Structure 1
Amino acid sequence: MPTRCDQTAPWPLLAAHFDAQGRSLDMRQAFAQDAQRFAHFSQQAPHVFADLSKNLWGRETEALLLDLARACGVEQHRDAMLAGEAINTTENRAVLHTLLRRPIGVALPGDVPETAQRLADVHHTQGAMLQYAEQVRNDAAITDVVNIGIGGSDLGPHMAVRALEEFRTPGKRFHFVSNVDGHELHHVLKGLRPESTLFLVASKTFTTAETMTNARSALAWFDAQGGRDVARHFAALTTNVEAAAALGITTTFGFWDWVGGRYSLWSAIGLPIAIAIGAQGFRDFLAGAHAMDEHFRTAPLAQNLPVRLGLLDVWYRNFHGFTSRCIAPYHAALGRYSAYLQQLEMESNGKRVAQGGSTLACVTSPVLWGEPGTNGQHAFFQMLHQGADVLPLEIVAVRQASHPLPGHQQKLLANALAQTQALMVGKTSDDGHRHFPGNRPSTLMLLDSLTPTSLGALIALQEHRVFVSGSLWGINSFDQWGVELGKVLAKDLEARLESGDVAGLDGSTAGLLARLRSVEGCGG
């Protein structure tokens, strides 16, 4: 179990350093005083270049943060995760999403005895899943693929399929339904024909309320529209084969309890990705992630990009007190990237209790939010530049265009660079309305091109970054008990909406329930 950062010797040293230098650091002066600042605070990791130089830290800050990582045992915690130890302590599970992208036959130092069999199982399941994906890709009769899932069974595949649209097979449309609001499913179904549609129902347990409600409605629609052969037009991504079979779904692909939902797009949950970009494209996707896994495993802490990012996150959250991070991808295909990262980081690290059960003395995950590039400039970037709060910005840019239109890419990249420059340098004016304070932090990540390989590396980078900050805070980043209470109460309230029983409810909930049941109230 890692040592909590606030209980280590480097922690008070960092606090003193922040008061003496960190609070007042001016990046403009730092660049003027250190000609090698960009070289030191930027690096090439597998398929991702990152510039961290426009952030509010210096070499002394980073050295103290690296001491903190060592004191917390980040390296040992990382090695325990990669080896398959049960580091998810509240559920007594291993955390092995990295095994999903490990090549067959590869062993790591410290692997637990079960690892070889687990890896063999992974590749067996993966092979069957990719074979099925190729069958669907080659079936011209299937024109629409509908993924029904929620949380990790939706956000990852949705983000990746959209991001890799340039690599998608022609002649097929992809749809993602997650919300229990019937409007979403109804809107999708209106444009479909049962004989040309494949539904993928993604739920590990096949009990997720939203997913199963949508799945049953899709089955009812299929039957009402004269659909034939459920077994051909529905597949399940689940370990509950019996429950799927009870609905007539006989094609199933499973995964394991050591794969968390928000880390599952590398597993059978990634079937829509594999259908979209093909078996080789999916293998390239896994290979990019594995390359980043190896970087995380082997690079020294000072040159380890996930570690440096995780340390910077703790520095901002616990010392500067920054409460959020803005994500702005400068590539339209990454339109779901921010939403994906919200779950990855906030569900993993949005916690107030340490692994041992004690209440933390420091805050954890920032709020993540954002939208694609230049759209954001004409919306919330005003607050980034001139608002009272300092909100670190993280940009993802792609050097090569994925389209043939002349002039667009140069303008896009110029805008990305301009925003990071403007945030740092600012602009002095006697007119307060036109004054930009500057010295505001940003990170720029650069991909040479947006491909399955580079996207895999980028996602794995973010996974490991979240692991590092969670490890420093001493929390379990791999459970999500915070989503359970609302689910339990929703079941109770669904029955009460039918019966009208308000006994034992608080006044607000009782009043709202009564209003929802009242025809007059609902129309009023």
Structure 2
Amino acid sequence: MANAEEAKKWIAEALGAAAVSNHFAAVSTNVPAAEEFGVPRAHIFGFEDWVGGRYSLWGPVGLSIACSVGGDSFRALLKGAREMDRHFAGASARQNMPLISALLGVWYREYLGLPTHVVLPYAQDLDRFPAYLQQADMESNGKYVGRDGKPVSHPTGPVVWGEAGTNGQHAFYQLLHQGTTVHPVDLIAIKAPMSKFSSHHQKLLANAVAQAEALMCGRNSEEVEKEMRAAGASEEEVRRVGPHRVFEGNRPSTFLLLDALNAHSLGMLIAFYEHRIFLQGLLWNVCSYDQWGVELGKVLAKNILSEWQEATPTVHHDASTAALIERLR
């Protein structure tokens, strides 16, 4: 709302207060408040307060998407999501992609104790997709209290992270292949070239497939030594360097291949992960549709902000917090 107030002020100063109503639309669960702000009722798109923000793009909140990409593309996004919904609702357990992915995720997190889930899209246009899934997944299933109000006795939501394609290869893939902790990986690749540089795209796909093979199969010491000797390495070098070039393999990965990257396939991809998250929440017996962990910080921030505006603090804090507040006064 702070940004909206600044935008309103900017328009009023440039065009006059009467122009505000012609330049604002609102998407809100509080229609009266939007009207009070100055948005005409005809420009307000309301929705129910039980719609979580991280699942809201399919409804009125998607207005900004429709404005950005156009109505046809937005409808294609919705159509793709609907097709994944139907697949999820009707496919058998053996063919149900969200179900299989959810069960694998529960197996990795709860039974193998693996703490993270890595998402690696081999498409620069999806470079922010891992960050999108961070909110969708971690805000949904990062809970230690079950639906019955009691602490759960098992691990729940993993840390979700990742980076686009070959950028990640030169940043953290070392840890994925040879680190002491195993991190399950989703590799997302696009079959059709995304630009006129088709040879570049082939190289990108080759890298994606190579990573899947390397994670699964690794490379044993015999293969390493044979390769080094064939390259002319001395026996001393083979002995000294060889162990560092061994990959144990057997590191779990899932390869998701889209025929093309467009609004339709993106809708399917987002819905796939939403259903995965929903199922894991059921299996862990947590409520995936609240986010009380977000609220506490907001409440405390309001208290701290009000204290800065007062000469004498009225709220008592722990020594560490009190010292920070005093330092920032």
Q: With the length of structure 1 as denominator, give the TM-score of the two structures.
A: 0.57
Q: Give unpaired runs (5+ residues) of structure 1.
A: 1-211, 518-524
Partner Cα distance (1:416, 1:360) in 2? 37
Partner Cα distance (1:213, 1:246) in 2? 15
Note the alpha carbon deviations across 1:301-326, whole angstroms, 9 max, x for none: 22211111111011001111100011
295, 318, 321: which one aligns with 1:506 = 318
The answer (yes or no) to whether the contact 2:194–2:201 under 8 Å persists in 1 is no
Give the match for residue 243 of structure 1: 33
Give the match for residue 267 of structure 1: 59
1:306 matched to 2:98? The reply is yes
Q: SS of 1:300's equivalent?
A: coil
Note the alpha carbon deviations across 1:15-64, whole angstroms, 9 max, x for none: xxxxxxxxxxxxxxxxxxxxxxxxxxxxxxxxxxxxxxxxxxxxxxxxxx
Structure 1 residue 489: Cα displacement: 0.6
Call closer, same or farther: CA 1:246–1:396 in 2, change over 3 Å.
Answer: same
The answer (yes or no) to whether the contact 1:500–1:514 under 8 Å persists in 2 is no
Give the match for residue 306 of structure 2: 495
The one-letter amino acid of 2:156's match is T
Give the match for residue 148 of structure 2: 356
1:483 matched to 2:273? The reply is no
Give the match for residue 380 of structure 1: 172
1:341 matched to 2:152? The reply is no
Give the match for residue 443 of structure 1: 254
The one-letter amino acid of 2:31's match is V
Give the match for residue 283 of structure 1: 75
Q: SS of 1:230's equivalent?
A: helix
Give the match for residue 232 of structure 2: none
Give the match for residue 213 of structure 2: 421
Structure 1 residue 405: Cα displacement: 2.0
Note the alpha carbon deviations across 1:419-473, whole angstroms, 9 max, x for none: 1111122223453322222111111101000111111111111111111111111
Partner Cα distance (1:438, 1:347) in 2? 31
Partner Cα distance (2:139, 2:245) in 1? 39
The answer (yes or no) to whether the contact 1:281–1:452 under 8 Å persists in 2 is yes
1:231 matched to 2:231? The reply is no
Structure 1 residue 394: Cα displacement: 0.8
The answer (yes or no) to whether the contact 1:355–1:474 under 8 Å persists in 2 is yes
Call closer, same or farther: CA 1:284–1:492 in 2, change over 3 Å.
Answer: same
Alignment of 1:444-459 (within 5 A): 444-459=255-270
Structure 1 residue 240: Cα displacement: 1.8
Q: With the length of structure 2 as denominator, give the TM-score of the two structures.
A: 0.89
1:213 matched to 2:2? The reply is yes
Give the match for residue 399 of structure 1: 191
The one-letter amino acid of 1:403's match is S
Q: Give unpaired runs (5+ residues) of structure 2.
A: 222-238
Note the alpha carbon deviations across 1:64-99, whole angstroms, 9 max, x for none: xxxxxxxxxxxxxxxxxxxxxxxxxxxxxxxxxxxx
The one-letter amino acid of 1:407's match is S
Note the alpha carbon deviations across 1:374-416, whole angstroms, 9 max, x for none: 1000101111111111111111111112211241110110110
Note the alpha carbon deviations across 1:110-135, whole angstroms, 9 max, x for none: xxxxxxxxxxxxxxxxxxxxxxxxxx
The answer (yes or no) to whether the contact 1:500–1:513 under 8 Å persists in 2 is no
1:466 matched to 2:280? The reply is no
The answer (yes or no) to whether the contact 1:330–1:416 under 8 Å persists in 2 is yes
Structure 1 residue 232: Cα displacement: 2.0
Q: SS of 2:270's equivalent?
A: helix
Partner Cα distance (1:345, 1:289) in 2? 17
Partner Cα distance (2:258, 2:137) in 1? 21
Partner Cα distance (1:432, 1:218) in 2? 60
State the identity %: 51
The one-letter amino acid of 2:305's match is E
Structure 1 residue 500: Cα displacement: 5.0
Q: SS of 2:94's equivalent?
A: helix
Note the alpha carbon deviations across 1:186-237, whole angstroms, 9 max, x for none: xxxxxxxxxxxxxxxxxxxxxxxxxx11111222233344466112221111
Q: SS of 1:303's equivalent?
A: coil
The one-letter amino acid of 1:514's match is E
Partner Cα distance (2:103, 2:74) in 1? 31
Note the alpha carbon deviations across 1:466-515, whole angstroms, 9 max, x for none: 11111111111111111111111110000112225445111011111111
Partner Cα distance (1:316, 1:392) in 2? 7
Structure 1 residue 278: Cα displacement: 2.0
Partner Cα distance (1:492, 1:322) in 2? 38
Partner Cα distance (1:245, 1:257) in 2? 17
Q: Number of aligned residue pairs: give it.
A: 306
Alignment of 1:155-174 (within 5 A): none
The one-letter amino acid of 1:505's match is H
